[in-house]
Chain A
Amino acid sequence: MPEAGRETLEVEGTVREALPNALFRVELAAGARTAVTAHVAGESSLLRLRPGDPVVVEIAPYDAGRGRIVRRR
């Protein structure tokens, strides 16, 4: 019997604020939470994100307040 996988959700958002340690405050386009604190996924071009940049954030269901910026959109 297969188990329901703990999938991550990909949602669209917009960078609101650059925080220390390459963290960003990202406002989400939709969903119950309106903003998450997100770190960037590897790619160095993502480190140069500025407020207002549109991005895609990956969110793990067990900590909806934190995310991972996967790419620009």
Chain B
Amino acid sequence: MSVQKSWSELQTMARACRIVVEALDALEAAAVPGVSTKEMDRIAREHIERAGARPAFLGYRGYPATLCISVNEEVVHGIPGPRKLREGDVVGLDLGCIVDGFFGDAARTVAVGRAGECAHRLMKVTRESLLAGIDVCRPGKRVGDIGHAVQTHAEGHGYSVVREFVGHGIGTSLHEEPQVPNYGPPGRRERLVPGMCLAIEPMVNVGGPEVEVLSDGWTAITRDRSLSAHFELSVAVTPFGPWILSEPYPYEQAEAANA
């Protein structure tokens, strides 16, 4: 059972999530040919610290950086280093921060310079899969409904969904109960209740769903070396529906009408 957050706790979560998304905006703008992944990590860290937050990934289970940066066939957990981004690369940017003890976590995949149509289609479908998953975050639905919505959308476009890594509850730690797989039958797993916060994060491959982890213990790549994309947002379940925590609270009017 995941912890239900109070209204004021959700406000703090929202602050954390907004800082992450603003940093992702800056990173997206900085992802040009020639920039090293290490440099991207520095930008991420500076942005988070300037906003008065702390990096959430740095030191998490020994992870050595602020940013996870996963290029092309890398799925998630790519460690920043000397590698330079090149024109046409598809780059997953995954970032988290801590504000007053609460975690924000988000990711997106961007193209460096001009990428092929195949890459843009993958990114578009992965993002849509995330939004399809978010849309079912309503009280009474179940965690399995989220995975089912994500999987149906991604596989409907001929892609595959990674099984080995899953979304998660989020709050006073980075990974809380419940796990949120991006696949599986609807109507199963935990029931969604208001105040629950979930990080939903489809990882979608052009080829097969299998991944392997490199010898650095972190970097996950597609086994068939096909292109992979990853989008993530932290979402709160409210009585009115999903609240993407990095965006303004969308139900002011609904609440007023209800009162």
By a beta-carbon cutoff of 8 Å, the part of chain A in contact with chain B is: 1-7
Contacts and interface: CB of A to CB of B under 8 A. Distances in A.
Contacts of A3: 165-168, 175, 179
Contacts of A6: 179
Given A7-B163, A7-B164, A1 B68 contact: yes
Interface in B166-219: 166-168, 174-175, 179, 181, 201, 203
B153 interface: no
A42 to B, nearest CB: 13
A19 B168 CA distance: 38
A1 B179 contact: no
The B interface, classified by DSSP as helix, strand, loop or mixed, is strand
The A interface, classified by DSSP as helix, strand, loop or mixed, is loop
Contacts of B168: 2-3
Nearest to B165: A2
B77 A1 contact: yes
Given A1-B94, A2-B94, A6-B179, 8 more contacts: A1-B77, A1-B96, A1-B174, A2-B230, A4-B165, A5-B163, A5-B164, A7-B164
B76 to A, nearest CB: 5
Contacts of B164: 4-5, 7
A34 B232 CA distance: 41
Interface in B114-169: 163-168
Contacts of A7: 163-164
B41 interface: no
Nearest to A5: B166
B167 to A, nearest CB: 7
A5 B179 contact: yes
21 contacts: A1-B63, A1-B76, A1-B96, A1-B105, A1-B107, A1-B175, A2-B77, A2-B94, A2-B167, A2-B201, A2-B230, A2-B232, A3-B167, A3-B175, A5-B163, A5-B164, A5-B166, A5-B179, A5-B181, A7-B163, A7-B164
A7 B68 CA distance: 23
A38 B77 CA distance: 36
A53 to B, nearest CB: 27
Contacts of A4: 164-166
A8 to B, nearest CB: 11
A32 B57 CA distance: 34
Lowest 4 CB-CB distances: which A-B pairs, in order?
A: A2-B165, A5-B166, A3-B168, A3-B175
A7 B165 CA distance: 9
B249 interface: no
